[in-house]
Amino acid sequence: LPAARMELSAAWHTLSTALVPPAALGLAAPRPEAAEPLQDAKLRAALDVLQCYDLHSIVEEWFIEVLQTDLQANIAPEFWNCIGRYENTAEEPQCAALLLDAFSLLKCRLEPYLNSLELLEQWTKAGLLLGTGAQTLQEKVYTMFKAILFFSTTKSFQEMVQQFYSRTFRIYMRQWKKGEDGTNECESSMSEMEQESDPEEGGGEGQLCAGCSSKREQCWCPEAMEQFQRLNDILRRLNLLERVSADAVTTILHRMIEERMEQRCRGEYEHSFLNEFQEWIEKVIGWLSRVFLQDGPLAQSCPEASSTLKRWRCHVQRFFYRIYASMRIEELFSIIRDFPESKPAVEDLKFCLERTNQRQQLLSSLKSALEMRLLHPGVNTSDIITLYISAIKALRELDPSMVILEVACEPIRKYLRTREDTVRQIVAGLTGDAEGSGDLANELSKADPVTLENGQESDDDISEPGDWVPDPVDADPGKSSSKRRSSDIISLLVSIYGSKDLFINEYRTLLADRLLHQFNYSAEREIRNVELLKLRFGEAQMHYCEVMLKDMADSRRINANIRDEEEKLPEEERPPFSLVAIILSSEFWPPLKEEKLELPEQVKEAMEAYSKKYEKLKAMRTLNWKHHLGLVSLDVELADRTLSLSVSPVHAAIILHFQTKSTWTLTELSEVLKVPVTSLKRKMTLWLQQGVLREEPEGTFTVIEEEQKDQVEKVVLIDSDEEGDSAMASQADQKEEELQLFWTYIQAMLTNLESLSLERIHSMLKMFVMTGPVVTEIDIQELQGFLQKKVRDQQLIYSGGVYRLPKNCN
């Protein structure tokens, strides 16, 4: 029994001192000359002895325990003490050398354990040891390295590793560029600060190496790349490469991609950068292969190496797509504004969005940018519409499903509905009257019919079933996919209000204004616009506009006939001046502005004579003159000058009265002309500005027969209403007239049916009033407000959810 114990003790001693360093067992390390490697035969013999006593099953567990104790008590503290010296080291080359020294020391301490691990794996595979298996033992050891050594790393260590890999990345990229073109041009991924010379080191001697940022004569790029290779080899040997380097490499790649992108892509929308960055990424992959793969073709061709490189390639490309998409999302407002010149940037963003999950980021960012930069009172309505049109074009290119456009631009549509001049600006753009309206005018010339979202077309109605593409998950399921995809710019603008009739009525008003104010308008152009609008909106809606144009043509023909008749008369029977009339079919024109004006007798006589001639041409018809509308061409003859002017009838009537009397007061003129004093005073400013009249004293106007050269020129302010004054009734006046029409119908309905609910009144108005070529619309909220006003005015009674007329109402 003592002999057996001695044999077992000797065998254990032989095996334990061979598998772990003596210091880990509390033994003195043998002198170098006395240390001889044990032969495999002796170790196998010792293992056989342990097997005889069934102790071979604890060898693996014992090895793990000793390794753990040594790591915690000796190896880890020694390593981190070495790293701690970095805090007192300022020079980067010294820091790099210190980092390499620390890991070289770590490798030296762990190398015996790694050699023993290989031996234990061989014995396990041969069935000489009982344990968890070779693969599991290896995983345990490497996991212990990571858990004990790098469970919690210091900030200085992270900075050291990041600085080391960042520097070697720049050196590698610099060397690659020099190898490609043979020039000394700095690699564009480097920041500008690192490319510039130190200002304190004047002259050429102060220039820095673009790779290591040292003075050129002190360049340590070759040494840095050698240290880079050695450190990677050590970490690979210890299976710590991913644990130590991965975070630093990820941070560096992220930062370098951002740096390069800021320098190359920010604000540049007219060129695609995807191919250029793909080439740059290949260079980055070359550097990553130097980090994570061993040198030599055999190492790189192994499946594990290929898998590692493939994984990192995916990481880098994902970094690039995400960062590039984020940058373009930040700039999307400007990209939309510059479209179509920015189309390459839109195509790049589309490519990246298909590979990242950033649609929600895009939607929230774009909506925020639109609300902050566009949707506020400081921006003209025309500018908002112009950018909305650009957004339609750009976002349709970005997302053919139109979901991004639908969601992101909904705030624009809501905001445009609050602007009073939105419809007018859109119609002016359609007809080419607005500044920069080429886009809408071109769209109108395509002559596609307007489609609104309330259609019932099926999404399955597609020419080829194989062409069907499902909507993105963020699409509104309540809206038609085919309608969304097929909507053109004009349809989208019209759908802001959901009705074509607003636009038709606005076009009628614009057309009427142009026909009555712009006497040099192009008839061919107006006919072309009406024909195009007929194709867009339908013939029934444009019938009134056709009648208006026909009225203008008929007026020219009638005027020509009357003029021919006048020329046949003797000189003494001809009218004192030429009168040209525009004859309107009142039922087909928008309501005209009503103003009182009493014209001079000679003018009224000329109008009566014209009416009689018209009645001869058009039997059973007569004319109702609008005295305040039109244009008068006259010559004002004064003592020393003659002025030729074209003015409104009220201006002409004013100056004609000064023929009979050189001085008039405002009150006298107001009584003669039947024009309110306040309005008349504004009209007088034209003649004050022309130097024909002067006001002395206030409220009294006198003709200036001779121009006074030495008189100090007075500044005369002209009311802005005088310029571009419309012949049409204002929108408020038209609305009041429409509501009065509704009120007439409502009174008739309540007289016959006694009481009606709000919904019933609205449905009956839609049936009987809101029809015809020119549709007058009122929504239920507007109708409710109108009825409540009538209740407050005691013209209606509201009780029990129904409206009725008061008993004393006729």
Task: Dump pLDDT digits (tens) for 226-248.
Answer: 888 888 888 888 888 888 888 88
CATH number of this structure's domain 591-724, picked from the four choices 3.30.230.130, 3.10.450.50, 3.40.50.970, 3.40.50.2300:
3.30.230.130
Which helix (H) or strand (E) is 694 found in, with range? strand 693-695
Q: Is 12 exposed, middle or buried (CB count within 10 Å of its CB: 0-12, 13-18, 19+)?
A: middle
pLDDT for the residue numbered 716: 44
Beta bridge partners of 592: 728
pLDDT for the residue numbered 363: 92
φ and ψ at 700, to 5 degrees? -125, 130
Instruction: Give the pLDDT band (50/70/90) at residue 184.
Output: very low
φ and ψ at 503, to 5 degrees? -70, -40
Instruction: Give the pLDDT band (50/70/90) at residue 735.
Output: low
Alpha carbons within 13 angstroms on the beta-carbon side of residue 92 total 19
Report the sign of the C-alpha dihedral through residues 209, 212, 215, 217, in that order: negative
Q: Are 269 and 342 in contact (CB under 8 A)?
A: yes
Confirm whether 591-724 and 731-804 share one CATH topology.
Answer: no
The whole-number average pLDDT for the span 763-785 is 69
pLDDT for the residue numbered 302: 55
Q: Which of 534, 543, 420, 501 is nearest to 738 (CA)?
A: 501
Over residues 188-197, the pLDDT tens digits come to 333 433 343 3
pLDDT of 356 strictly over 80 = yes
The whole-number average pLDDT for the span 710-715 is 47
pLDDT for the residue numbered 309: 81
The CATH number of the structural domain formed by 731-804 is 1.10.10.10
Q: How far is CA 244 from CA 73, 114, 138, 149, 337, in A?
A: 21, 18, 19, 10, 46
CA distance 321 to 359: 13
Over residues 496-544, the pLDDT tens digits come to 887 788 888 888 888 888 888 776 677 888 888 888 888 888 888 788 8
**Which range has the worst mean pLDDT, 218-222, 287-291, 459-463?**
459-463
pLDDT for the residue numbered 689: 87
Which helix (H) or strand (E) is 735 found in, with range? helix 731-753
CA distance 530 to 431: 9
Name the residue with higher pLDDT: 416 or 44. Answer: 416
**Which range has the worst mean pLDDT, 15-19, 614-618, 633-637?**
15-19
CA distance 402 to 400: 5
φ and ψ at 665, to 5 degrees? -95, 160
Instruction: Give the pLDDT band (50/70/90) at residue 720.
Output: very low
pLDDT of 490 strictly over 70 = yes
Instruction: Give the pLDDT band (50/70/90) at residue 566.
Output: confident
Over residues 201-218, the pLDDT tens digits come to 333 445 766 656 666 666
CA distance 138 to 620: 112
Name the residue with higher pLDDT: 253 or 724. Answer: 253
Of 169-173, 266-270, 615-619, give the range with the top mean pLDDT.
266-270
Instruction: Give the pLDDT band (50/70/90) at residue 714.
Output: very low
Sorted by where each begins, the domain ranges of the chain are 2-157, 331-454+475-499, 591-724, 731-804
pLDDT of 631 strictly over 70 = yes
Q: How far is CA 459 from the centre of its chain?
A: 28
Q: How far is CA 465 from CA 359, 460, 470, 483, in A?
A: 27, 8, 12, 17
